[in-house]
Structure 1
Amino acid sequence: MVWLFAVATGLIVANLYYAQTLIGPISRATGLDPGAAGLIVTLTQLGYCLGLLFIVPLGDLVENRRLIFISLVVCALALVAAAVAANPLVFLAAALCIGLGSVAAQIIVPFAAHLARPEERGQTVGKVVSGLLMGIMLARPVASLVADALNWHAIFVLSAVVTIALAFLLRARLPQRQPEGGMHYFQLLGSMWHLLKTTPVLRRRAAYQACMFGAFSLFWTCVSLELTGPNFGISQTGVAIFALAGVAGAIASPIAGRRADQGKSRSTTLIALLLGALAFTAPLLVDAGRLANLAILVCCSIVLDAGVSASLVTGQRAIFSLPADVRSRLNGLYMALFFMGGAIGSSLGGWMFAHHGWHGVLLTGLVFPLVGLAVFTTEPRK
């Protein structure tokens, strides 16, 4: 069941990232202004944030398997709309709906935590999140390879087919989980504000991950533009090979989960934030020619992805240690808050690249983990 959860979350969340390395061809095909290209990723993440705030909390109220199925059907329809979009407004509306439907992944993660034994919860969540992160990291190279072999429309068609097949598979295989409930939908939403005010660990973990995910989204939104530009002149297949290197960062997830189970969340968080800062500092300080600069970017992508993975798992382990009857709401708030950081990062990245180039992107990206480190200094040691 853990393998099923991991594969499912990876396939679902990949839908958020197929467009990330294709913003150039999508912008040209739909007539989107280059300075607004970051909106392709930003609106997908905004839709995801809205789904996390208004759909994922239903996991504490309605039967989880049915909620997952409906979300995936919505996502598949939005993917079809993106594939046939001929103007920017249609594509951006479809991107928003892809984000809304993809929140099924964040209904599955607390589902896995609910089924796991308390002493193994961090490791279980780490394994499921490894699948989720593999989906994020593999989405970019897969999209680039498919676009090179066919066209950018094809990846959305293929993903729609996979998503609808996954919807029926999960409906057949997942156990039923009917929460106790006890409140109506608007009471449920109202309780989220109370949870945010009264759960300091949620606020702190969301702040760390918002900084890390903002840096992550900014980097991966812009690096394909830099790689295919005049400095490197790499094809979409080359971008795919580059993006595959980032997959190595997913190995940090189970390691971070195990360390969190051992009570080492504080040191794991510090390491994750330092890795994020290092990923942007190295290319700013070193300029040693085309091949050396490319090698540095490959290493930085692995380091950044490892830091983001470790921070995410450590945060979810802390949140899933809280009472089971509020896990879906806590997870929805956590993911929504840090995806807002991601949306800010991707939109800033597109604008910075258009107006200040890659150097401006790196300086902006460095600010995110530095803010996270500043917040970390206020964390009590106990």
Structure 2
Amino acid sequence: MPTATSTQQAPEVRVPARERPASGSLLLLIAVCTAVTAANIYLAAPLLPLIAHDFGTVPSAVTWIASVAQFGYAAGLLFFAPLGDRVNRRPLVAGLSVATTVALVVAAVAPGTAALAAAVFAAAAATVVPQLLVPLVAERAPADRRARHVAAVIAGLFTGIVAARVLGGLAGQSFGWRWVFAGSAVLTLALGLATALALPTERRTRRGALFSGIAELPGLLRRSPDLWRACLRQAGMFGAWSALWTTLALLLTGPPYGLSTATAGFFGLFGLTSTAVAPLAGGLVDRFGAARVVGTAYLLAAVAVPLFWLGGQVLVALCAAAIAIHAALVASHVANQTLALTTTSTPATANTAYVVSGFAGGALASAAAGPAFGHWGWGGVCAVAGVWLALGWAGTASRPGRQERSAR
């Protein structure tokens, strides 16, 4: 089995300054920027009932817009994230932040669902800044604290997801969904440009065409079984979470709960579990390795899915399930992404393969969850989540590789 050191890659010269650990202030700024930009991917989900009402349709008819955001993010990752191995990240982060801002403004004034979906796709495709920053943090972190540094950024990412649901729902109820997109545009521009200015200047000498990282992805996955396992595992875990979380607003605002959009948005506060679990998961990965943490996360998720099904009628079960699924998702993500970033000599390209796989799994599950909810109700959504979880677990059936056992 090839290891990271034996895998042949195109020659690359690294700048020594990048080996120094990121300062605490830079790490904090990166985490905040990650929170703001990640929120853009999930902005539409809590606003679906309001969007449907504004365009004169039923909520289940617009759930595909949330899926479009995830497909857009996967497409952006495929094209833009590998550039982290080839170009200076400062102008790249600045340019993508401006592009995201423009797309969000277009979404805010969209006259119909088609225009809104196109703008959401473009915004999500350009808002890949977090996945340009995570490899930088991993590269500059001390080896014995790498997972904890990655976990700090992941905590920011999930905080952004929570903010998108809670604050997005509240602001949408108070001011309308269009102002939510407009406000996110302002925050994205401010944090994106501030982060770009704070990043270290990099000189890239890696050979190959600008977008040649895309062509490297199949070979990279073939040569690195550890990376392949991390991709498949997270696709299953993220798909299960996406199916449940994308349609949750439909359950909470419909029978039997009948909550308002703003009240349903408060349910997203359970996502703060992610912010608390991420540092703990990072420490456990550094100490015990990725495989054990992922296995525990999958076990927790397997308990969460039946609780979600019960939560279709029992609110307490729904609350417990929300805590469990967020804890499982973030623990799995910290472990799998740390493994993906350390298993090859091209971390940005490997990270692209990992995150594209995860979001493709999430987008497909979200796309399946909408029709499942329309035909079979909440039980159908839980069935979709269970199927994705089972498919992801199949990636853990084989014996862990060398990198996976020693990823600390």
Same fold by TM-score greater than 0.5: yes
- Distance in 2, matches of 1:192 and 1:372, equals 20
User: Which residue is equivalent to 2:375?
Assistant: 355
- 2:394 counterpart letter in structure 1: A
Residues 1:370 and 2:390 aligned together = yes
Structure 2 partner of 1:257: 282
Counterpart CA distance in 2 for 1:380 and 1:58 is 29
Distance 1:91 1:357 in 2: 26
User: Residue type of the partner of 2:370?
Assistant: G
| Percentage of pairs with the same residue | 33
- Alignment correspondent of 1:205: 230
> Equivalent residue for 1:296?
317
Q: TM-score, normalised by structure 2?
A: 0.88
| Comparing 104-113 and 19-28, the one that deviates more | 19-28
| Mapped partners of 2:187, 2:310: distance in 1 | 43
Does 1:74 find its partner at 2:99? yes
Mean CA deviation greater in 329-338 or 251-260: 251-260
Q: Which residue number in structure 1 is paired with residue 358 of structure 2?
A: 338
**TM-superposition CA deviations, 1:205-250 (whole Å, max 9, x none):** 1111001111111111111101000200111221121111221233
Distance across 1 between alignment mates of 2:283 and 2:184: 32
Cross-structure match for 1:171: 196
Residue 319, structure 1, aligned to residue 301, structure 2: no
> Match for 1:184 among 209, 219, 222?
209
The 5-angstrom pairing of residues 14-29 of structure 1 reads: 14-29=39-54
Q: Which amino acid aligns with 1:22?
A: L
Whether the 8 Å contact between 1:110 and 1:327 is mirrored in structure 2 is yes
The residue identity in structure 1 corresponding to 2:200 is: P
In 2, the alpha carbon distance for the partners of 1:264 and 1:153 equals 44
Letter paired with 2:371 = W
CA contact (8 A) 2:43 2:165 kept: yes
1:152 Cα deviation from its structure 2 partner: 0.8
Alpha-carbon contact 2:231-2:354 (below 8 Å) kept: yes
Equivalent position SS for 2:362: helix
Select 1:235's aligned residue among 252, 256, 260: 260
1:107 partnered with 2:125: no
Q: How far 1:29 sits from its partner (Å)?
A: 2.1
The answer for unaligned runs of 5 or more in structure 2 is: 1-25
1:225 aligns with 250
- Equivalent position of 1:84 in the other structure: 109
Partner of 1:41: 66
After superposition, the Cα gap between the structure-2 partners of 1:296 and 1:207, relative to the gap in structure 1 and judged at 3 Å, is same
Structure 1 unmatched runs, 5+: none
Conserved? CA contact 1:59–1:179, under 8 Å: no
Of the three residues 76, 83, 86, the one matched with 1:58 is 83
Amino acid in structure 2 at the alignment position of 1:129: I
Q: 1:34 to 1:92 in 2, by over 3 A?
A: same
Aligned-residue CA RMSD in angstroms?
A: 1.7
Q: Give, as a single letter, the amino acid of the residue that structure 2 aligns with 1:123.
A: R
Equivalent residue letter for 2:398: T
TM-superposed CA distance for 1:192, in Å, is 2.0
CA distance in 2, matches of 1:191, 1:376: 24
Which of residues 122, 141, 154 is equivalent to 2:147?
122
Corresponding pairs, count? 377
Calculate the TM-score normalised by the size of structure 1: 0.94
**Take 1:374 and 1:173, find their aligned partners in 2: how far apart are those partners?**
42
Report if aligned partners of 1:34, 1:354 keep a CA contact under 8 Å in 2. no
How much has 1:277 moved relative to structure 2? 1.5
Which amino acid in the other structure matches residue 334 of structure 2? V
Aligned: 1:307 with 2:321: no
Mean Cα displacement is larger for which, 217-226 or 23-32? 23-32
| Counterpart-to-counterpart distance in 2, 1:28 and 1:187 | 44
The secondary structure found in structure 2 opposite 1:183 is coil
Q: Which string of whole-angstrom CA distances, capped at 9 and with x for unpartnered residues, describes residues 259-309 of structure 1?
A: 11113322211111112121111243578xx6xx11211111111011110
State the Cα deviation string for residues 69-109 of structure 1 (Å, max 9, x = none).
11111110110011101111110100110111111111011
Q: CA deviation at 1:32?
A: 5.9
CA contact (8 A) 1:83 1:156 kept: yes
